Amino acid sequence: MAKRKQPSRKPSTSLKKSKKSGGSGTFLNKLLAAVSIFVIIAVLMGLAGWIGYEAGKEHAAKSCEKRLGSYRSDIEKLRSRLKNIGPEAAPKAESKREELSEIRDYASAGGESATAKPTVKKEVALARPKLAIIIDDVAFPSQIKEIKSLPWKITPSIFPPTPRHPDTPKFAKSLRHYMIHLPMEAVSYNHAEKETLTTESTESQIDQRLRKLRRWFPNAKFINNHTGSRFTADIESMALFYPLAKRYGFTFIDSRTTPKTVVPKIAELNSDPYVGRDIFLDNKPDIGYIQNQLKKAVRIAKAHGYAIAIGHPHKTTLKALSESGAILKGVDVVYMDELYSKIR
């Protein structure tokens, strides 16, 4: 009996589909894994970049702060240098103005021949003649330093504070011996200091000015005039000023910028000895001239017991004083308060 032929079996469609589906799933899984890895790498790279950026930003900030700190340090150094340089430079401008202020006021009033020593000068018998040397127009600490470097007892006369030299009361606090150099109206000077006393000043205005001076300079005992050829020649103005100055504890020393000064008469009316300048040292910026003026001052001191000389903080004046030991050996160079205690 012939065998029945078995029919051949074809793979089922579902199996084929399953295999196809399995292959497709593997590819997708691999693709997904690859994408995931790529994303993770990208995220990590982004994170690393962000961390690097932040670190860089922090470094840049620190670097910037360091540079700013350096700039601040440079600025502070510059400010410090300017503070030190300012006072050194300012006296040069000041001395230029001095030539146009007190000396010009003095010259316009007739000079030394017209302002000869008043006959009212009190003569004093002393064991040794005394010479007080006043340096007017002091406005800066550097000038005080130069005056202190001299081997003599020099009395600085200090300007009241103004915007040009605001710190005069501050550095005066460190001094035991000084005066106030008070601006007063001149006949022909057109560049008056701030709050200069004039012949139009009222009693109240003079009082206010003196009250300020006492507050600024609590230890000051003496005032002398800066310029003032008009004010010190005006009897009414000086009659107001002089007793008010005494009330505030000030003694007035006449710079004698005019031969018409009424201060001797006013001092006599107030039962005080007249105290005024005998010699201007530096009308000419020449060492030989200044030393010759010192010789005149020494002769006056020997003749009358004392003398008062006035100079200014010029380099030439200070140099001349430093080199005048031989000229001054015959007198005692004393502070103004030491001299006044001998002649009052």
Has residue 8 been placed in a domain?
Answer: no
Burial of 327 (0-12, 13-18, 19+ CB in 10 A): middle
- pLDDT one-digit tens code per residue, 155-185: 999 999 999 999 999 999 999 999 999 999 9
Query: Same structural domain for residues 257 and 285?
Result: yes
Q: Is the pLDDT of residue 114 over 90?
A: no
User: What is residue 19's predicted lDDT score, i.e. its pLDDT?
Assistant: 45
HSE, CB side, 13 Å, CA atoms: give it for residue 79: 6
**Cα(303)–Cα(297) distance, rounded to whole angstroms?**
10
Query: Same structural domain for residues 83 and 105?
Result: no
- On average, the pLDDT of the chain sits at 82
Q: How many domains does the chain have?
A: 2
Q: Is the pLDDT of residue 237 over 70?
A: yes
CB 321 within 8 A of CB 150: yes
Q: Which segment, 14-18, 19-23, 28-32, 72-76, is predicted with the most confidence on average?
A: 28-32
Q: Tell me the percentage of the chain whose pLDDT exceeds 90.
A: 60
Residue 34's pLDDT band (cuts 50, 70, 90): low
Q: Which residue has the higher pLDDT, 232 or 59?
A: 232
- For the segment 117-141, the average pLDDT, to the nearest whole number, is 85
Q: Tell me the percentage of the chain whose pLDDT exceeds 70.
A: 65
Beta strands in 250-327 (DSSP E): 251-253, 279-280, 306-311
User: What is residue 294's predicted lDDT score, i.e. its pLDDT?
Assistant: 99
Query: Same structural domain for residues 250 and 164?
Result: yes
Q: Choose one of 92, 124, 151: the last residue of a domain.
A: 92
CA distances from 204 to 139, 218, 233, 245, 269 (A): 27, 20, 20, 13, 22
**Cα(130)–Cα(124) distance, rounded to whole angstroms?**
10
Has residue 1 been placed in a domain?
Answer: no
Query: Same structural domain for residues 153 and 257?
Result: yes
Query: Same structural domain for residues 233 and 170?
Result: yes
User: What is residue 160's predicted lDDT score, i.e. its pLDDT?
Assistant: 98
Query: Same structural domain for residues 250 and 296?
Result: yes
- For the segment 34-48, the average pLDDT, to the nearest whole number, is 65
SS percent in the chain: helix, strand, coil, step 5: 55, 10, 35
Query: Tokens in use for 94?
Result: 């000041």
Q: List alpha helices for 176-234, DSSP H.
A: 203-216
User: What is residue 112's predicted lDDT score, i.e. its pLDDT?
Assistant: 55
**Cα(182)–Cα(189) distance, rounded to whole angstroms?**
15
- For the segment 289-314, the average pLDDT, to the nearest whole number, is 98
Has residue 86 been placed in a domain?
Answer: yes
Q: Is the pLDDT of residue 12 over 70?
A: no
Query: Same structural domain for residues 75 and 169?
Result: no
User: What is residue 24's predicted lDDT score, i.e. its pLDDT?
Assistant: 56
Phi, psi at 279, each rounded to 5°: -140, 135
Amino acid at 46: G
Phi, psi at 254, each rounded to 5°: -80, 120
Query: Same structural domain for residues 161 and 27?
Result: no
Q: Is the pLDDT of residue 280 over 90?
A: yes
Query: Same structural domain for residues 52 and 103?
Result: no
Q: Which residue has the higher pLDDT, 343 or 47?
A: 343
Residue 300's pLDDT band (cuts 50, 70, 90): very high
Q: Which residue has the higher pLDDT, 62 or 97?
A: 62
pTM of the full predicted structure? 0.70
Q: Choose one of 92, 111, 141: the last residue of a domain.
A: 92
CATH number at residue 284: 3.20.20.370
CB 245 within 8 A of CB 263: no
User: What is residue 163's predicted lDDT score, i.e. its pLDDT?
Assistant: 94
Query: Same structural domain for residues 75 and 134?
Result: no
Query: Same structural domain for residues 82 and 118?
Result: no
Has residue 12 been placed in a domain?
Answer: no
**Cα(338)–Cα(343) distance, rounded to whole angstroms?**
9
CB 188 within 8 A of CB 258: no
Q: Please spell the DSSP secondary structure of 104-134, one letter per residue.
A: HHHHHTTHHHHTPPPTTPPP---SS-EEEEE
User: What is residue 123's predicted lDDT score, i.e. its pLDDT?
Assistant: 72
Query: Same structural domain for residues 218 and 254?
Result: yes
Query: Tokens in use for 5?
Result: 């032929």
Residue 264: name the closest of 251, 275, 277 by CA: 275
Has residue 301 been placed in a domain?
Answer: yes
| Token pair 């709050």: residue | 195
User: What is residue 52's predicted lDDT score, i.e. its pLDDT?
Assistant: 60
Residues, the chain: 344
User: What is residue 276's predicted lDDT score, i.e. its pLDDT?
Assistant: 98
Q: Which domain holds residue 52?
A: 18-92
Q: How many helices and strands (H and E) does the chain possess? A: 12, 8
